[in-house]
Chain A
Amino acid sequence: MNAVITKVLGDLRRRRLQAAVIAFVIFLASGTTTLGLTLLQTSSHPWERAFEAQRGAHLTVLFDRHKVDPEQLARTPGLIGASQVGGPWPWVETSYELGAHMAIGGGGFKFPLITVGRESPQADVELLRLVAGRWVRGPGEIVITRSFADLNHIRLGDRMRSLGTLERRALVVVGEASDVDEADSEFGTQFAWVTESQLPLLAPDWGYKMAYRFPYAPSEQELRAKLARLQMALPAGAVLASMNYLLLQKVFNGGNQIALTFFLAFGIFALLACAATVANLVIGIVIANYREIGVMKAVGFTPLQVVGTLVVQMQLPTLAGCLFGVPAGVALSVPLVDRETASLALPPEPPFAPVMALATLLAVMTVVLLATVVPGLRAGRLSAVGAISMATAPSGGRRSWLGSMLRRLPLPRPLALGAGDAFARPLRAGLTALAVLVGVATLVFATGLPASARTLVDIAFAHRSTDVILQRANAYPDQKVMATLAAQPETALVVGLAGAQVTVPGVADPITVNAYRGDSARLGIPVIRGRWFSGRGEVVATRAVLEDTHLEVGDSIEGLISGQPVLLLLVGEVFSANNTAALLRPTALAREMEMDLSTLAEAVPEAQPSYYFVTIKPGSDANAYIRRIQATEPDFLDATENRDQTVSGIGFLNSIMLVLAAVLALIAAAGVFNTLLLNTRERVRDTAVLKALGMTPAQVLVMVAAGAVVLGVAGGLLGIPAGVGVHRAMMQGFANLLGNDLPESVFRVFSAPGLLLLALAGVAVALVGSLLPARWAAMTRVAEVLHSE
């Protein structure tokens, strides 16, 4: 054993550079892997923990107070077997005005909130955690969610104004609560709370909310059955909307899931690239060691001791790399984990997960062990003479076909020689090209994703032809809005949008209806199959709806809107365009049906738009237009320009991914560096001979760099289709989560020159990796090398 240790220490001292390369690559690899695994472990739990801690509702139902009274509602738990219940609480969806503008009157930022009347945050179901301030005690007070407060920079003591009635009641924020329902405030609906007696004063069209909890965790099917029973037992149209916990869980975890899928893909990529690089490194060292292995055996090392020496020699730098890489990965995951838990106001979870750290360590060390043992055993079995002669055998003894081909290319000699030498050891070249491939694929993928997100956002905020989006408060009538718009000379097109819900046989959850008034086809909502509706009775729907209802384009179905039967002919499939939330939060929101307002009017004759998509004449100033509209009724009209939106969630994900792509590029560069280092060291004699024959240092540099270029081109060219493929697969998975089919334009985000540039990035990475070995090779001292024969 002593002999092994002496030998290992000596080798490490002598091969400091290679030990450093191993440690560096392992540092990057273990860091990335730890990051992925830590996120995986911590991100899947916060919602579930919060749900249990706050006794979240398995089923929440919103009722129309005109169709059902509190006594009837009190009997509903028994009807569906709920063991605990919260409510009936009065609720209303209404807009609020908030922000600094309030003080100077009008024109401030408006936001719709579902406000619920509750006397206490305590309840059997839907316990609210107060994270700041206190609960509401009487008139003029409101509690909002922490994420809403954070997003809009609202502090305790700030004022908000309800726009549900003409008096515009002023409310002071007295507390911040956290609620499992809320998901992330950037998307989805937000809640706020006032006292029960105050709620009806906020807006006239309020209703009741009930929260049910069951003694077991019901399945989707069971929840649907329960909701159906509820609808049967109550007057038609009493159930306005419902939300179940599975959906919410999906909503919350969905965003995570997307991020996690990406991270996992990256983790696997990183592991692959690292495995290739590490294996390459280790095999290279073993091969370079053949001569010494022969000498070791001649001196009396057993085959096992030979392998042991190699294993220890590799594992020491590996350990060193992990020692820094694992904590770095943990540190990097902290802000990510925090971001997720903060929106639920959970205590931040200590991100250090010993199991994950250990798992990473084991995975990395196993890869290194395998890469050492396989060639090591072969070397260990060699006879002493065999090993020595194998080491001294000219490299021509194992010529590769590809190498000879490349060497014969009609290129300047140094280029052709270098290109051929790169493939002199096909396994090594293959592994190196693989590392470059992974790097380029990641880069392709990391640049493709934001481009796709961008396209998706463009489509989702769609109405590309729309310049201004107008929203009216409930208190302000449609005719006045239309009159205001008609009075503006710039107005070219107005399409109104009214919301509703339709219930379809066999589907428990109501489907969101977008009913348009006006030339809706001109909004440019992408039709994926079939065509846009063209009149009363025709509808288009998202894929989620088609799947739930088992309908095909061309089928017709009878739906219930506000209890009234309406015959609907499905003429097309669309990409869900109205809910930005659906973008990142795969929810029932993507269960969407678009129709003409006349179709909705069959069931709800009084239905009126509350959103307006306005196109103004070319060359008009949208901002001036908005200011003028806003000035007519600052409290009840909210006009915004339909311009590019940024989705910060994607931006965040994107920056992380670019960092990871950079890490993978670095790993690839290290891989190339290592390969060329081994190649040039093995060929130092050849290089010396070439220099003796008159090759200039510059030509030697070119020769080595040419090898790098060939590896870079190979990896780059293969990495492009790999990256595009992974991108497509990911976006497809994302589409499935959304319940939408994505328009083809979301996939086609790559341009040929752009891809070429990325392939060149592969070459650039390889060139960076070749810089030092090439320089060292160029400086080869001929006399010295040839002297030491």
Chain B
Amino acid sequence: MTRLIELSDVRKLYDGGAKHPALNGVSLGVERGEFLAVMGPSGSGKSTLLNLVAGLDRPTSGRVLVNGRDLGRAGEAELARYRRSGVGFVFQFFNLLGSLSVLENVMVAAQLAGSGTAAARQRARELLAQLGITDQAARYPARLSGGQQQRVAIARALVNRPLMLLADEPTGALDSRSGEQVMELLVELNSSGQTVLLVTHDAKLAARYAGRVVSLVDGRVADDVVLQASTASPAEVVRVRVEEVAG
């Protein structure tokens, strides 16, 4: 069985920045059920990497294979269909649709994927219950706290039972308490088999919750560490890295 995600020698050049590729020869494999954190300084290419995996953008060269499918060769409509069922995306700023209620925000993703209204409502309610925001179902996003909004966004991302959950700085706009709750939610989902790709520049969070940490610097993979358990401390992450460099 092939890997879930397989990046080989991926380069990404944006129109403007020809001299500095956002990704410069990244090769990376992700197995099903992994909890991978992508770390790195601002501008190192983390979001770019996630966008490529999500099928929101295409690599300039190299291949992005998901479940054996080459995303770089897929057409617009095919990518859209892939995003519906293959990917659940969680953004830093939630990006809920302001004109729809909480329940509708979750439902809309299921409806786009082709499920009927009744089935979509059923599934959305289940997820809201699972994430503990059932009582917010009829409200509109503008009235919700950041943490609540991010839960809605996660519910929306999960509604189609995606192959993987992609989260780009999901805690970036939250206070530390809400941030921890969101992370715990992700771990819980991961432990029930959900593949999770998390972008963060917070080493503490990565070390506490992720099973594997990939560090990007200037568009290259500088480091790729598998942690023993989710109880590893930040110091441990640093230690492993030092050992590797020394070895």
Interface set of A (CB-CB < 8 Å, partner B): 393-397, 399, 403-404, 407, 410, 413, 417, 420-421, 424, 685-686, 688-699, 782-783, 786-787, 789
Is B142 touching A396 in the complex (CB atoms < 8 A)? yes
Is A420 touching B47 in the complex (CB atoms < 8 A)? no
Is A396 touching B77 in the complex (CB atoms < 8 A)? no
Binary contact readout B106-119 vs A (1 if CB under 8 angstroms, 0 otherwise):
00110111000100
Q: Point out which of B56, B83, B99, B140 has the most chain A C-beta atoms below 10 A from its C-beta.
A: B99
User: Count of chain B residues with Cβ under 8 Å from any Cβ of A?
Assistant: 35
Q: For the complex, what is the distance from the CA of A688 to the CA of B47, rounded to whole Å?
A: 15
Given contacts A692-B83, A694-B112, contact A394 B142 (CB under 8 A): yes
CB-contact partner of A695 in B51, B93, B112, under 8 A: B112
Is A685 touching B83 in the complex (CB atoms < 8 A)? no
Closest chain B CB from A291 CB (angstroms): 16
Given contacts A395-B98, A686-B97, A689-B97, contact A694 B51 (CB under 8 A): no
Is B35 part of the contact surface with A, judged by Cβ < 8 Å?
A: no
Is A397 touching B109 in the complex (CB atoms < 8 A)? no
CB-contact partner of A424 in B99, B109, B113, under 8 A: B99
Closest chain A CB from B58 CB (angstroms): 10
Report the nearest A residue to B76, measured CB to CB.
A697
Is A783 touching B51 in the complex (CB atoms < 8 A)? yes
CB-contact partner of A685 in B84, B92, B95, B140, under 8 A: B95
Residues of A within 8 A of B83 (CB): 691-694
Is B84 touching A413 in the complex (CB atoms < 8 A)? no
Is B209 part of the contact surface with A, judged by Cβ < 8 Å?
A: no
Closest chain A CB from B89 CB (angstroms): 5
Given contacts A410-B117, A694-B109, contact A786 B95 (CB under 8 A): yes
Q: For the complex, what is the distance from the CA of A783 to the CA of B89, rounded to whole Å?
A: 12
Is B128 part of the contact surface with A, judged by Cβ < 8 Å?
A: no
Residues of A within 8 A of B76 (CB): 696-697
Q: For the complex, what is the distance from the CA of A396 to the CA of B99, rounded to whole Å?
A: 5
Q: For the complex, what is the distance from the CA of A693 to the CA of B56, rounded to whole Å?
A: 10
Q: Main SS of the interface on chain A? A: helix
Given contacts A397-B98, A410-B117, contact A694 B56 (CB under 8 A): no
Is B131 part of the contact surface with A, judged by Cβ < 8 Å?
A: no
Interface residues of B in 74-103 (CB under 8 A from A): 76-77, 80-85, 89, 91-93, 95-100
Is A692 touching B142 in the complex (CB atoms < 8 A)? no
A-B contact pairs, 25 of them (CB 8 A): A393-B142, A396-B99, A396-B142, A399-B140, A403-B99, A407-B100, A421-B99, A688-B95, A692-B54, A692-B89, A693-B108, A693-B156, A694-B82, A694-B83, A694-B84, A694-B113, A696-B76, A696-B77, A696-B81, A697-B76, A697-B77, A697-B80, A699-B112, A783-B51, A783-B57
Is B141 part of the contact surface with A, judged by Cβ < 8 Å?
A: yes
9 A-B pairs with the lowest CB-CB distances in the bound complex, closest first: A396-B98, A694-B84, A394-B98, A696-B80, A694-B83, A413-B111, A696-B77, A689-B95, A783-B51
Residues of A within 8 A of B97 (CB): 396, 686, 689-690
Interface residues of B in 22-53 (CB under 8 A from A): 47-48, 51
Is A394 touching B109 in the complex (CB atoms < 8 A)? no
Closest chain A CB from B72 CB (angstroms): 15
Closest chain B CB from A390 CB (angstroms): 13
Q: A694-B82, A697-B80, A783-B48 are in contact. List 20 more A-B contacts (CB 8 A).
A: A394-B98, A396-B100, A399-B140, A404-B99, A421-B99, A685-B95, A688-B95, A689-B95, A691-B56, A691-B80, A694-B81, A694-B83, A694-B109, A695-B80, A696-B80, A696-B81, A697-B77, A782-B57, A783-B47, A786-B95
Closest chain B CB from A690 CB (angstroms): 7
Closest chain B CB from A87 CB (angstroms): 82
Residues of B within 8 A of A688 (CB): 95
Closest chain B CB from A393 CB (angstroms): 7
Is B56 touching A692 in the complex (CB atoms < 8 A)? yes
Is A413 touching B108 in the complex (CB atoms < 8 A)? yes
Q: For the complex, what is the distance from the CA of A334 to the CA of B76, rounded to whole Å?
A: 54
Q: For the complex, what is the distance from the CA of A413 to the CA of B117, rounded to whole Å?
A: 10
Residues of A within 8 A of B84 (CB): 693-694
Q: Point out which of A413, A417, A424 has the most chain B C-beta atoms below 10 A from its C-beta.
A: A413
CB-contact partner of B92 in A395, A396, A421, A789, under 8 A: A789
